[in-house]
Amino acid sequence: MIDKPARVRFAPSPTGHMHLGSARTALYNYLLARQTGGQFILRIEDTDQKRYVPGAEKELIDGLHWLGLDYDEGPDVGGSFGPYRQTERRETYREHVQKLVDLGKAYPCFCTPERLEKVRQEQQQQKIRTHYDGFCRNLDPQEAAARIASGEKHVIRFKMPSEGTTTALDYIRGPITVENKLLDDSVLMKSDGWPTYHLAAMVDDHLMEITHVFRSSEWLGTFPLHANIVRAFGWEEPIWIHLSIFLKPSGKGKMSKREKAEAIKDGYSIFVKDLQDLGFIPEGLNNWAALMGWGAGETEDILTLPEMIEKFDLHHLNPSPAAINFTKLDYFNGAHIRMLALDDLAARIKPYFLRENYKVDDATLLKIVPLIRERLVTLDDCLPFAAWFFKETLTINPADLVAKNLDSAQSAQVARKIYAVLENLPNVSHAVAEAPMRALTENLGLSLGQVLGLLRVAVTGQMVSPPLFESMEIVGKSLVLERLRNAIDILEKMSV
C-alpha cells in the first residue's frame, strides 16, 4: 500500500477507438488516485499529426465518463498543471529540448531522410543492427548553430551514453538493464518542431508531478531511453509500471483485424464503445478489465468500483500477458446487472427497446425487470425476452402453436379449454391461474409442457419467455384472452 497521495495520468493518443487496454490503464490510474487521496489526470498526447483521428479525443472522454472514471484534471476540466493537450504545450517542449542541447545531452542532426535510408540499407547488408550512425553527434556546436540560423532542416537527437549500461526499474518487473551501445540516439524533436513521445511524455510527467506511470509494456523497449532522458534533466524518476499486454482468447498472439471483426459478430469487441453498444455495463467491464493483470484474490471476484479502490495493490499486478476471455466478461456483466436496483436496470434497458422503435411505458417496464433480470447477460438480451410486451400485435409462427404430440385440431381444442378456464377467473396471476391450469392439464391427460407451451406461444408469440403467469399478470386478463382467441383462430384455420 502507498500512503502518499499519488498523482497519476492516463495519457492516450487520439489515434482511434478506445481499446480495452486503455480502459484498464485508466482504471488502474483511477484506483490508485482514489485509494491514496491523490489526483487522476487526463492528458491527451496528440502531437503525432499523422496518426491523429478527429473525434478520437471525444470518444476517449465519453468512454471515461461512461466507465465512471472521473478525472480531476484534464483538457475539459482544467487544473493547475495545464494545458493538458500536448499540442498546446509546444513551447514547453522547445524550451526543454534546448535545455538538453545546452547541457550537451542532445544535439541537432541535419541528416536527410535519404542519407538515413542509405545508412539503414548498408547496415542491413552488413547484417548489423540498424541504428543512427551518430554522423551529427559530434558536430562543432558553433557550426551547428550557424546551420540552424541559416534555416537548415534538422531534428534534435538525444545523446545516449555510448558506454556502460543503463538500469531502469519497473515496479512489477524489477530492474531492467541494457548495454548503452545497443541504444539509439533517438529523435526528441522532429524537423517540423513537434516533440516525439520520448521528450513530450517525460517533460509532462515531470512538470505535472506524476508519481506513478502506468503504461503498456509496448514501451519496455524504449524504457531505458526514457530513464536516461529523465536523468539527463536531473529529475526524480516516477515509479514506472509496464502493464501486461492482452492476447487473443486462445492466448496465442494478439488479436488480428480479422479476429476483431469476427468477435463483433459473436457479440464481443475489444473497443469500449462497441462493448457499450453490445449491452455490456461499465460495472461489468471494469471488473473484468481490472482482473486481467491484477490478482485481487480470486480471478472471478465480483468487485464494485469502491471495493476495487479499497483492494487495489500494485504488488499484485501481474506482468505476464493476459488472454482475453469473453466468457468471463459475460459472467461479470451478468453478475453486475443483477446487482443493479430495479429502476436503474429499467432505465438502462429502455434505450434498447426505443432503438427498435417500441413504445415503452415505464410502469410496465418496471414490472418486467424482475422477471428478466436473472436471465440478462447483456442489456440487449432484454429484446428477445421482453420486446413482445411492447408489441401491439404478435407475429406468430402457426407451427409453434401446435402442442407437442398433438395435431392442430387437437391443439385448437386445448386452446378453447384453456380459454374457458381463464375466462372464468378473476385474473390471470400466478396465484389465481396456476392451479386451474394444472387441473385442466390433468383432466386432459396432457403434460404441463403441452398446455403451458401452447399458452406461452399464444400470449407471447415465442417459445421462450419470462415466467408465464407473471408475464400474463403484466399483460392483463383481457389481452391474454384476446391473444388466445387469435391463437384459436390460427389453429382452426390450420385444421380445415
Q: Annotated catalytic sites, by residue?
A: 257
Q: Tell me the pairing of strands 239-243 and 155-158.
A: unpaired
- CB distance 135 to 111 below 8 Å: yes
- CB distance 210 to 241 below 8 Å: no
Least distance in angstroms from the C-beta of 13 to ligand GLU? 4
Least distance in angstroms from the C-beta of 17 to ligand GLU? 12
Least distance in angstroms from the C-beta of 15 to ligand GLU? 7
Which one of residues 6, 8, 13, 457 is an interface residue with ligand GLU (CB under 6 A)?
Answer: 13
Of residues 18-37, those binding ligand GLU (CB under 6 A): none
Q: Closest CB to ligand GLU among 246 and 352?
A: 246
What is the pattern of x (binds ligand GLU, CB under 6 A) and - over residues 173-202?
----------------------------x-
Number of residues this chain uses to bind ligand GLU (CB under 6 A): 7
Q: At what angle do helices 468-475 and 477-495 cross, to 10 degrees?
A: 110
- CB distance 269 to 326 below 8 Å: no
For the CA atoms of 186, 105, 134, 92, the dihedral, rounded to the nearest 10 degrees, stands at 40
Q: Closest CB to ligand GLU among 216 and 462?
A: 216
241, containing H or E segment: strand 239-243
Q: Closest CB to ligand GLU among 157 and 215?
A: 215
Q: Closest CB to ligand GLU among 92 and 216?
A: 216
Q: Closest CB to ligand GLU among 236 and 310?
A: 236
Q: Closest CB to ligand GLU among 228 and 465?
A: 228
d(CA 345, CA 484): 31
List Cα–Cα distances, 272 to 73, 96, 268, 269, 384, in angstroms.
22, 36, 10, 8, 24
Least distance in angstroms from the C-beta of 342 to ligand GLU? 39
What is the pattern of x (binds ligand GLU, CB under 6 A) and - over residues 139-178?
----------------------------------------
Least distance in angstroms from the C-beta of 470 to ligand GLU? 49
Grid cell for residue 192? 517540423
Q: Closest CB to ligand GLU among 11 and 340?
A: 11
Least distance in angstroms from the C-beta of 165 to ligand GLU? 24
Site for ligand GLU contains 276 (CB under 6 A):
no
Q: Closest CB to ligand GLU among 45 and 380?
A: 45
d(CA 168, CA 84): 27
- Tell me the window of 11-19, 87-95, 244-252, 378-386 that interacts with ligand GLU (CB under 6 A): 11-19
d(CA 270, CA 30): 20
Q: Closest CB to ligand GLU among 238 and 466?
A: 238
**What residues have CB less than 8 Å from 214, skipping those under 6 apart?**
8, 10, 25, 28, 29, 32, 241, 243
Which amino acid does the sequence have at 488?
I
Site for ligand GLU contains 11 (CB under 6 A):
yes
Least distance in angstroms from the C-beta of 66 to ligand GLU? 19
Least distance in angstroms from the C-beta of 103 to ligand GLU? 24
- Tell me the window of 8-16, 32-40, 255-263, 411-419 that interacts with ligand GLU (CB under 6 A): 8-16
Phi, psi for residue 109 in degrees, rounded to 5 = -130, 125
List Cα–Cα distances, 491 to 55, 442, 480, in angstroms.
55, 22, 16
Rg, C-alpha atoms of the chain:
32
Half-sphere CA count of 48, side-chain side, radius 13 A: 17
List Cα–Cα distances, 175 to 64, 180, 210, 240, 262, in angstroms.
32, 15, 20, 11, 39
Site for ligand GLU contains 45 (CB under 6 A):
yes
- CB distance 189 to 196 below 8 Å: yes
- Tell me the window of 5-13, 168-176, 346-354, 410-418 that interacts with ligand GLU (CB under 6 A): 5-13
Of residues 69-128, those binding ligand GLU (CB under 6 A): none
The answer, yes or no, to whether the previous bond of 83 is cis (omega within 30 of 0) is yes
Of 108, 408, 387, 73, which Cα lies nearest the Cα of 207?
73
Of residues 202-261, those binding ligand GLU (CB under 6 A): 215-216
In the chain, DSSP finds a helix count (H) and a strand count (E) of 21, 11
Return the sign of the alpha-carbon dihedral for residues 66, 70, 74, 78: positive
Least distance in angstroms from the C-beta of 243 to ligand GLU? 10
Residues that bind ligand GLU (CB under 6 A): 11-13, 45, 201, 215-216
